[in-house]
Amino acid sequence: MTGLRRVPLGALDVGSEPELVERLREEIERDGPITFARFMERALYEPGLGYYRRPRPGPGRGGDFLTAPETHPIFGHALSRLVTDVWERLDRPFPFVLREHGAGEGALAIAILDGLAETPELLEAIVVEPVELEPARLEAFDTRLDAAGHGARHRPAGTAAITGLALTNEVLDALPVHRLVQRGADLREVLVGWRDGGFVDVEAPPSSPRLEERLSREQIALVDGQRAEVCLAIHDWVATAAAQLRRGVLLVIDYGHPAAELYGPRRRAGSLAAYVNHRVHDDPLVNVGRQDLTAHVDVSAVQYAAVAAGLVALGATSQAELLAGLGIEELLQRAQSDPATTMESYVTLRAGLMRLLDPAATGAFRILAFGRDVPIEPPLRGFEFRLQRP
């Protein structure tokens, strides 16, 4: 969801979910100002009312932003080569589980299965497990996979540990964050209050010592007036995902930066953003339940949490470099020489590929791989193009 220019709210004021606003107002008036993490959690995930729990789609061309899988299926076709590599490193287990966190309605899973068409043994072994909070999306996922005709088994993800690949694409950026601001020598937290019929910022001492501990561990010293977001939920999310991986790989795809860069001089206003109708603005307290809220991921925190959970760092790269390593140019040439490729579909493919590789769009996304009981050499397929050890 990068590459969009921030604009004034103006026409992006689509209104809020009235019932959700009322629930939040009641909580604030009863208990006092709440952390922004609490506000963000309810704005995005309140059952039936939150942005990701409503019938209207969020991701996609008809929604508010475009993720890599919706950009073009070639993204999933390329990832299928990494999936195959993990399967082979694990000595071709049967079953081999592909657990996709934030699976949506199946765009990425279907594209990966399309790419596995030349590996019938893996198509027979694979079991796709979508992880989604909203039951309607799980139903749509099942319907789309059945209609795709691959015959691959799929089932809702449980909590049992798997042998296979756990994948998350643009999920961690939507975990609730705490907002901080440095005032002289004091670190303050920006809470959410209610005044004059609307939500407002309220500064207070940090709500948890873990906030200062995170910055201290990462050797981050904010300067006077600097704003920042800290996602404490990353640790628990990674710990849970790791505990559910018996053998295999956890692959994290998201936009983010190491702590020194995320909290560096280029981002003194923080990275929190709101998305509506494929445009981005800076007011997170409006359009409650009807706009996406995201913040760039602290890559250092993800790496720390993964290692603390017993996983081994396998590599880090960018999306553009991963796709290059997975042979995206060959896939493009193959499509170009395919008699079934029309001029229109080829132009769409080229445009989608440019977005996937463009560092101003999604090409700069971070790709992190962690493993348990999986060979670390040679590097995972795709990572050898420009491998970085976290």
Mean pLDDT of the chain: 90
Task: Please compute the mean of the pLDDT values over residues 196-224 and round it to a whole number.
Answer: 97
Question: What's the confidence (pLDDT) of residue 340?
Answer: 76
Which pair of tokens denotes residue 221?
């010293």
In this structure, are residues 57 and 107 in contact, taking their beta carbons and an 8 Å threshold?
A: no
Question: What's the confidence (pLDDT) of residue 57?
Answer: 54
pLDDT in tens, 118-135: 899 999 999 999 999 888
Inform me whether the pLDDT recorded for 42 exceeds 80. yes
Inform me whether the pLDDT recorded for 357 exceeds 90. no
In this structure, are residues 322 and 367 in contact, taking their beta carbons and an 8 Å threshold?
A: yes
- Name the one residue in this structure whose structure tokens are 């009641």: 26
Between these two residues, 284 and 361, which has the higher pLDDT value?
284
Task: Please compute the mean of the pLDDT values over residues 106-113 and round it to a whole number.
Answer: 94
Q: How confident is the model at residue 209 (pLDDT cuts 50, 70, 90)?
A: very high
Question: What's the confidence (pLDDT) of residue 73?
Answer: 82
Question: What's the confidence (pLDDT) of residue 7?
Answer: 57
Domains in the chain: ranges and CATH: 10-55+178-230+279-294 (no CATH), 68-174+234-255+297-385 (3.40.50.12710)
Q: How far apart are CA 102 and CA 273, in angstroms?
A: 20
Q: How confident is the model at residue 380 (pLDDT cuts 50, 70, 90)?
A: very high
Q: How far apart are CA 105 and CA 85, in angstroms?
A: 25
- Whole-Å CA distances, 21 to 26, 56, 286: 9, 18, 10
pLDDT in tens, 294-311: 999 999 999 999 999 999
Q: Which amino acid appears at position 99 of this protein?
A: R
- Whole-Å CA distances, 224 to 9, 162, 231, 273, 295: 27, 46, 21, 22, 21
User: Of the ranges 15-19, 33-37, 105-109, 386-390, which one carries the lowest mean pLDDT score?
Assistant: 386-390
Question: What's the confidence (pLDDT) of residue 58?
Answer: 58
Question: What's the confidence (pLDDT) of residue 265?
Answer: 87
Inform me whether the pLDDT recorded for 61 exceeds 50. no
Question: What's the confidence (pLDDT) of residue 118?
Answer: 85
Q: How confident is the model at residue 373 (pLDDT cuts 50, 70, 90)?
A: very high
In this structure, are residues 82 and 380 in contact, taking their beta carbons and an 8 Å threshold?
A: yes
* Cross-strand bridge partners of residue 335: none
Inform me whether the pLDDT recorded for 2 exceeds 70. no
Task: Please compute the mean of the pLDDT values over residues 25-38 and round it to a whole number.
Answer: 98
Question: What's the confidence (pLDDT) of residue 70?
Answer: 63
